């Protein structure tokens, strides 16, 4: 009984931390953005004035009306509480400015599938390839294959993916014109579940996802390699080898099996960061995902959309790490021993 009580206490503490962290991160970002000078409506009015030399004196009522619609006429603390109230009670994130008058939650819902589709496939592929290559590099640690893989990984692992993307766009997209470099599908196909559209979507996803995979594979190779190399020194592996088990079994059932737990945690965490999108890659390829929306929102200083994107990312990251925290005691007996 005591054991369950302690486990329940562990769960409650994790959930409380989860809620508190989300609230604190929201509060910090909210006040940081609002403490800066300017707001979307006056920035827009100013730009109009500058560009067309219009006299805004007569339009001040209109500007006021828009400010009211965005809630900008209220004090900052009032805006803070009403944002939280609307988000939690009504699941409403307010009107967007970049796509006025559509509500932010609608824009987010429209873009989530693109970002999730592109990034989850890229992250999963990179993880599987990286794990296998890393295991190979660790196992054959004195061969040329290992040094080739490791050296590639050393050079590429810290390079930001958008640098790779820029180069891929130049070669494959512009110079050789093999693959499309903009958008997520060709406009001539009707959106829906039909073969030409799906093929077009896949073709457009190749360049962005390859640039993400090339870089993140390198990171998984390095980490898996050092995990495997560590395991190679363990007594149980030497014993298993002495027993005469075939190499493939040693590698898969003893080596990879033990590297899997930390790597799965890592995978879950990077899947959690999906919702922050790949802002620069999506902007570069004009991919209609969350990152591209966020970039446009920042350009227009669109509070509501920025807060919507940021909160979506914060909540997903926290949820992923909460799930890991709650599952880990079930999977790993060592963690279970500490918890209960």
Partner 1 sequence: MTWLRNCWNTSLRFRMGVILLIAFIVLAAIGPLIYGPLLRGEQFDINPAAPGNFKRWQTFSATHPLGTDGDGRDLLGAYLLGMATSLRIGLLSGFVATLIGTMVGFAAGYFGGPTDTGLTMLANILLIIPAYPILVVLVLYTPRITPEMMALILAAFSWPFAARTIRAQVLGLKERPYVDLARISGVSSLGIIVTELVPNLLPYLLVSLAFSTLGAMAAEVGLALIGLGPSNGISLGLLIFFSRGVFSLGRYDVLLIPPLILIAIFTAITLINLGMEEYLNPRLQNVTGR
Using DSSP's 3-state secondary structure scheme, residue 95 falls into strand
CA distance 59 to 54: 9
* Residue 162 within binding range of partner 1, rule CB under 8 A: yes
Task: Using the minimum distance from each CB to partner 1, give the nearer residue, 18 or 100.
Answer: 18
* Residue 178 DSSP one-character state: -
Q: Indicate whether 207 belongs to the interface with partner 1 (CB under 8 A).
A: no
* Partners of residue 95 on adjacent β-strands: 103
Please state, in angstroms and rounded to a whole number, the distance separating the CA atoms of residues 154 and 94. 45
314 lies in the binding site for partner 1 (CB under 8 A)? yes
Q: Report the run of H or E that residue 123 belongs to, with start and end.
A: helix 104-139
Strands (E), the chain: none
Residue 283 binds to partner 1 (criterion: CB under 8 A): yes
**163 touches partner 1 (CB under 8 A):** yes
Task: For residue 114, count CB atoms less than 10 angstroms from its CB and return exposed for 0-12, middle for 13-18, buried for 19 or more.
Answer: buried
Q: Minimum Å distance from CB 65 to partner 1? A: 26
What distance in Å separates the CA atoms of residue 193 and residue 211, rounded to the nearest whole number?
Answer: 27
From 21, 42, 69, 340, residue interacting with partner 1 (rule: CB under 8 A): 21
User: Does residue 136 interact with partner 1 by CB under 8 A?
Assistant: no
Nearest to 135 by CA among 40, 254, 240, 215: 254
> Is the alpha carbon torsion for 70, 73, 75, 76 positive or negative?
positive
Name the residue with tokens 């050789």. 176
245 touching partner 1, by CB under 8 A: no
- Is 34 one of the binding residues for partner 1 (CB under 8 A)? no
CB of 150 to partner 1, least distance (A): 9
Q: For residue 242, how far is the Cα from the chain centroid?
A: 45
Tell whether residue 79 is a contact of partner 1 (CB under 8 A).
no
Q: Which is nearer to partner 1, 140 or 261 (CB)?
A: 140
* Cα→Cα distances 295→92, 150, 276, 300, Å: 21, 35, 11, 9
* Least spacing, CB of residue 180 vs partner 1, in Å: 16
Q: Least distance from C-beta 24 to partner 1, angstroms?
A: 5
**Which bin fits 50, alpha (ψ -120 to 50), beta or left (φ > 0)?**
alpha
Among 86, 157, 258, 265, binds partner 1 (CB under 8 A): 157
230 binds partner 1 (CB under 8 A): yes
- Nearer to partner 1 by C-beta: 112 or 197? 112
Map the footprint of partner 1 across residues 164-183, applying CB under 8 A: 166-167, 170, 174-175
Q: Which is nearer to partner 1, 1 or 242 (CB)?
A: 242
333 is a contact residue toward partner 1 (CB under 8 A): no
Please state the closest distance from residue 196 (CB atom) to partner 1, in A. Answer: 29
* Contacts with 115 (C-beta within 8 Å, 6 or more apart), sequence order: 274, 275, 277, 278, 282, 289, 290, 291
Least separation in angstroms between CB 271 and partner 1: 14
Contacts of 154 (CB under 8 A, 6+ apart): 218, 222
Q: Which is nearer to partner 1, 59 or 288 (CB)?
A: 288
Distance between CA atoms of residues 155 and 146, nearest Å: 14
Which stretch in 3-11, 68-76, 120-128, 302-310 sits in contact with partner 1 by CB under 8 A?
A: 302-310
Q: How far is the CB of 113 from partner 1 (least distance, A)?
A: 20
Binding site for partner 1 (CB under 8 A): 17, 20-21, 24-25, 28-29, 32-33, 36-37, 139-142, 154-155, 157-160, 162-163, 166-167, 170, 174-175, 222, 226, 229-230, 232-233, 237-238, 276, 279-280, 283, 294-295, 298, 301, 306, 309-310, 313-314, 317-318
């Amino acid at each position: 009984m005591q054991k369950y009580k302690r486990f329940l206490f562990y769960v409650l503490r994790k959930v409380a931390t989860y809620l508190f962290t989300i609230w604190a991160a929201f509060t910090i970002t909210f006040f940081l953005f609002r403490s800066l000078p300017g707001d979307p409506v006056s920035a827009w009015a100013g730009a109009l004035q500058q560009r067309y030399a219009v006299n805004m004196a007569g339009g001040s009522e209109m500007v006021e009306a828009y400010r009211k619609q965005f809630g900008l006429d209220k004090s900052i603390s009032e805006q803070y509480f009403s944002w939280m109230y609307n988000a939690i009670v009504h699941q409403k994130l307010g009107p967007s400015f970049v796509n006025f008058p559509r509500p932010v939650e609608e824009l987010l819902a429209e873009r989530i599938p693109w970002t999730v589709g592109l990034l989850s496939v890229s992250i999963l592929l990179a993880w599987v390839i990286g794990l296998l290559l890393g295991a190979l590099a660790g196992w054959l640690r004195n061969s040329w294959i290992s040094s080739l893989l490791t050296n590639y990984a050393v050079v590429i692992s810290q390079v930001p993916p958008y640098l790779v993307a820029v180069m891929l766009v130049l070669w494959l997209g512009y110079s050789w014109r093999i693959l499309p470099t903009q958008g997520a599908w060709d406009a001539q196909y009707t959106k829906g579940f039909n073969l030409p559209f799906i093929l077009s979507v896949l073709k457009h996803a190749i360049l962005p996802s390859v640039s993400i995979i090339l870089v993140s594979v390198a990171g998984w190779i390095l980490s898996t390699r050092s995990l495997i190399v560590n395991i190679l020194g363990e007594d149980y592996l030497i014993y298993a080898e002495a027993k005469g088990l075939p190499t493939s079994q040693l590698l898969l059932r003893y080596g990879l099996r033990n590297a899997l737990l930390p790597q799965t945690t890592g995978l879950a965490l990077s899947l959690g960061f999906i919702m922050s999108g790949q802002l620069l890659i999506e902007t570069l390829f004009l991919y209609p995902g969350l990152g591209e929306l966020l970039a446009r929102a920042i350009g227009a200083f669109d509070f509501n959309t920025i807060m919507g994107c940021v909160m979506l990312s914060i909540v997903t990251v926290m949820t992923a790490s909460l799930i890991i925290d709650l599952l880990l005691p079930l999977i790993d007996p060592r963690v279970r021993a500490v918890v209960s």
